[in-house]
Amino acid sequence: MITLQNVAVAYGETPVLQDVHFALPHGAFAFLRGRSGCGKSTFLKLLYRDVEAQSGELFIDGVPMQQLQKFELRRKMGIIFQSFELIEQKTVLENVLLAGKALGRPLAQITEEAERLLARVGLSDKLHMFPAQLSGGQQQRVAIVRALLNKPKLLLADEPTGNLDEETAADIFQLLHELHEEEQIAMLIVTHQSHEHIDATTYWMEGGRIVEQAATKLHR
Ligand SMILES: Nc1ncnc2c1ncn2[C@@H]1O[C@H](COP(=O)(O)OP(=O)(O)OP(=O)(O)O)[C@@H](O)[C@H]1O
């Protein structure tokens, strides 16, 4: 669904991504790994158009990304971060609904969908609580639901469990993998950990390039 050919990104004069070739198939569940500072977050920002490519070609479903308005692109993608990025003054339900309101969707429709997804991630009893009243793992579940509310085809995740303990992190990865299957959504997840028990493709980044791709197939 996403193809990059010979893409380069620089911050000012400093090159960060170069000679990037990458293909993410529809429905993929993929990790992006590599040493600190190699360019992983910048790569996600490039896909989300938070930074622009200096050169190269980027396609989404065969269409050059430059031809899409940012809002059209972001309708196809959701994103979650290590720091959850929830609005502290809004309740769980209000945080989730923001994503649907931003696209002008009818309130009744997005409320029904938000309640379904929040129940799916085990938060039906927290709808009217504020982020500070939730654990880190629960906050990340809210952020996941917010990212999925508009039924994107791709979820990008930048170290989604970086602020969580090991057990909670494993639960979140398990949840993401289940949602990937249930909601038929591709996921590209930046992570520093290996997740050998999850069927996934791992892309490795080094010095601003994607250097390797490896598929893990589990034998169950
Ligand atoms: N806004 C910015 N302006 C200038 N340089 C930046 C900016 N953001 C990132 N960089 C630099 O670009 C390089 C890649 O950063 P990036 O955050 O993409 O790496 P990363 O692989 O995600 O790192 P980490 O694993 O530590 O999060 C680093 O050298 C960083 O200092």
214: exposed, middle or buried (C-beta count within 10 Å: 0-12, 13-18, 19+)? exposed
Return the closest-CA partner of residue 23 out of 4, 10, 6: 4
Q: Are 108 and 79 in contact (CB under 8 A)?
A: no
Q: Which two tokens stand for residue 156?
A: 């990008």
CB of 38 shorter than 6 A to ligand 1: yes
Protein residue closest via CA to atom 14 of ligand 1 = 39
**Average pLDDT estimate for 94-109:** 95
167 CB-near residues (< 8 Å, 6+ apart)? none
CB of 41 shorter than 6 A to ligand 1: yes
Its domain, for residue 62, covers: 2-216
CB of 44 shorter than 6 A to ligand 1: no
Estimate the share of the chain in helix, then strand, then coil, as percent rounded to the nearest 5: 35, 30, 35
According to DSSP, the residues that pair with 209 across neighbouring strands are 206
Return the closest-CA partner of residue 152 out of 66, 81, 80: 80
CB of 189 shorter than 6 A to ligand 1: no
Write down the pLDDT at residue 220: 42
Give the number of domains in the chain: 1
Identify the band that residue 218 occupies on the pLDDT scale cut at 50, 70 and 90: low
CA 135 – CA 94 distance, rounded (Å): 18
pTM for the whole thing? 0.94
Task: Report the CATH number at residue 141.
Answer: 3.40.50.300
CA 86 – CA 112 distance, rounded (Å): 20
Q: What is the ipTM of this complex?
A: 0.97
pLDDT tens, position by position, 32-84: 999 999 999 999 999 999 999 999 999 999 999 989 988 888 889 999 999 99
**Average pLDDT estimate for 177-186:** 96
